[in-house]
Amino acid sequence: MYHPQVPGEPTQTTTSLVETATGAIQSFRPIKQIHQHLCAFHFYGYDMTRQVEAHHFCAHQNEEMRQCLIYDTPEADAKLIGLEYIISENLFLTLPDEEKPLWHSHLYEVKSGVLFMPRVPGPIERQDLDKVCKTYGKTIHFWQVDKGDNLPLGLPQLMMTLTRDGQLYDELARDVEKRFGVSFEKERAKRADMEGPTHGIHPLANGGGKGLITKLRELHCNRTDPSFASSQL
């Protein structure tokens, strides 16, 4: 597991006191909507060899969409490394075709047992994973902790997830199983009857079968000043 140390001075007592005061006064309503913790694995959209443990802390926008903060661990000093949006099959099918490759399916992750809810009793977990099995996710990581970066460097990158056996590194799987007291094989057996999207996994999902990478390109900056626009012609 990668967990680089962030450079900088230790948090001062005065800072902690201010945080205690603001924590008592402010509401933090968006954060308080987070209701579940999912653990899974992501890989970079252009490099399946770079696999990352991903802890999702999720809140529903409604029954067909949830949004998740992604951390590298579930501990108090965890790094916020990315975001994931999860939508229903119905919403996915409304997306333009050029958008669909940016989204990945969750069917294999759930049925194989590698996506799980730490410490949640099986019957409760089952109720939600029956829904997740049918969804699609769009994930961006900002912090490349697998490279040992101690700050979020470089461009945000599109992430993908596992779609078949043999993709997840055994040592990564065994490490997570040991730390969280789970067995992916036992979970796989329990989830054999779970069903995925009604129309099957869309052929354009999961990158459309291709690798995808984020790149930066310089352009003229559009501005509201008409004289600036005309000078660029």
Task: Note the pLDDT tens digit of each residue in 10-26.
Answer: 878 887 877 788 888 88
For residue 167, pLDDT beyond 90: yes
For residue 230, pLDDT beyond 60: no
Among residues 92, 112, 116, the alpha carbon closest in space to that of 104 is found at: 92
pLDDT for the residue numbered 231: 52
- How does 99-137 read in b/e, with b if 16+ C-beta sit within 10 Å? ebbbbbbbbbbbbbbbbbbeebeeeebeebbeebbbbbb
For residue 125, pLDDT beyond 90: yes
pLDDT for the residue numbered 1: 63
pTM for the model stands at 0.90
Among residues 103, 138, 150, 140, the alpha carbon closest in space to that of 214 is found at: 140
Name the percent of the chain lying above pLDDT 90: 81
Q: Which helix (H) or strand (E) holds 169?
A: none
pLDDT for the residue numbered 227: 58
For residue 74, pLDDT beyond 80: yes
Region 117-121: what's the mean pLDDT? 96
- From the CB of residue 87, how many other CB atoms can be counted at a distance below 10 Å? 20
The token duo for 144 is: 């490349």
38 contacts 52 by C-beta, under 8 angstroms: no
Phi, psi of 73 (to 5 degrees): -145, 170
Extract the runs of DSSP E, i.e. beta strands, from 90-135. Answer: 104-105
pLDDT for the residue numbered 226: 59
pLDDT for the residue numbered 225: 63
Supply the mean pLDDT for the chain: 93
- From the CB of residue 55, how many other CB atoms can be counted at a distance below 10 Å? 19
Give 85 or 22, the one with higher predicted confidence.
Answer: 85
The token duo for 129 is: 């994973």
Region 130-159: what's the mean pLDDT? 97
The residues with which 58 forms a beta bridge, in sequence order, are 36, 68
For residue 218, pLDDT beyond 80: yes
Amino acid identity at 174? R
Give 196 or 25, the one with higher predicted confidence.
Answer: 196
